[in-house]
Amino acid sequence: MPAKKAADGLSAAMIGVGRMGQALARNWVQDPQSAGLTSVALIDPTPSDAVIALGKHPVAVINPDPKPVDVLIMAVKPQVFPDIKAEAAKWANSKTLVMSVMAGITIKQLAEAFPGARIARCMPNTPGAIGLGVTGFCLSDNCKSIDTDRVENLLSPLGLVEGPIREEQIDALTAVSGCGPAYVFLLTEAMAAAGRKLGLSQDMSDRLARQTVIGAGALMAEDADTSAADLRRAVTSPNGVTQVALDVLMKPGGLPDVMRLACESAAKRSYDLSQE
């Protein structure tokens, strides 16, 4: 579903402009009207060439003096947050919407760092850097209905936006979509290794596995109304080659059980990190 247009005239600041931050900021400064922004401050102690290029857009400025903005995006690594939160607080007041993409930092922790601010805790994944990601978000109790539209609109350059969800669902979302790209990369590795074991060259096996995953993903995107299970059944002939392979993958203790255990472990670790 396309994100709703947020009201124009907002000032924004982004603290931490890494790859994910750049993916957001690039779209905002190139089309500020669609983002609903009139200014974007990019805060990075050692701005890269890419960030410097972003700063050349009329609405963008790099490392200005801090002052409260309408929207503050916290995009630093979570382990850095304790050291910079006092300085970051200078960018926010009771009228600020703070959007955090820092894994493991809870709404409570953010509310303590930014007293009175409205909080959106967001969890993107790495394909967001090319606009093909998934980002889930939850909101603090003091958020307004306009904040949902605003968050959806500002996150839309990363891809699909899911929310608002309950904060207690963030760990599950992290386990599925946040960690999910690594699962797909591992599957690709395993397929390529199997091909090499069967006698294919390394280069060919790598190409076959990679393109097969890319193509299957594109097919799911093209046929979004068909479930992954139905797509699987459509390419599986009874007693055929694919069926005997799936019999191995889907037996007790096979891929579905392993994936469930992996996601449960990831969700638990995500929760534990938020409590440290």
Region 10-171: CATH code: 3.40.50.720
What pTM did the predictor assign?
Answer: 0.89
Measured CA to CA in angstroms, residue 161 lies from 65, 87, 148, 250, 254 at distances of: 32, 29, 11, 31, 31
**Spatial separation of the C-alpha atoms in residues 268 and 260, rounded to whole Å:** 12
Q: Are 152 and 4 in contact (CB under 8 A)?
A: yes
Strand partners, 41: 13, 61
pLDDT value of position 3: 40
Neighbours of 64 (CB within 10 A): 11
Q: What is the pLDDT of residue 6?
A: 41
Q: What percent of the chain has pLDDT over 70?
A: 97
For the chain, which residues make up each domain, given as ranges? 10-171, 185-227
- Give the residue from 202, 199, 198, 210 showing the smallest Cα distance to 245: 198
CA distance 17 to 134: 19
Q: Tell me: pLDDT of 2 over 90.
A: no
pLDDT tens-digit map of 23-65? 999 999 999 999 999 999 999 999 999 999 999 999 999 999 9
How far out from the chain centre does Cα 92 lie?
A: 23
Tens of pLDDT, residue by residue over 115-149, are 999 999 999 999 999 999 999 999 999 999 999 99
- The answer, yes or no, to whether residue 189 has pLDDT greater than 60, is yes
| pLDDT at 276 (0 to 100) | 75
Question: Alpha-carbon distance 166 to 276, whole Å?
Answer: 20
Backbone angles phi, psi at 12, to 5 degrees: -135, 150
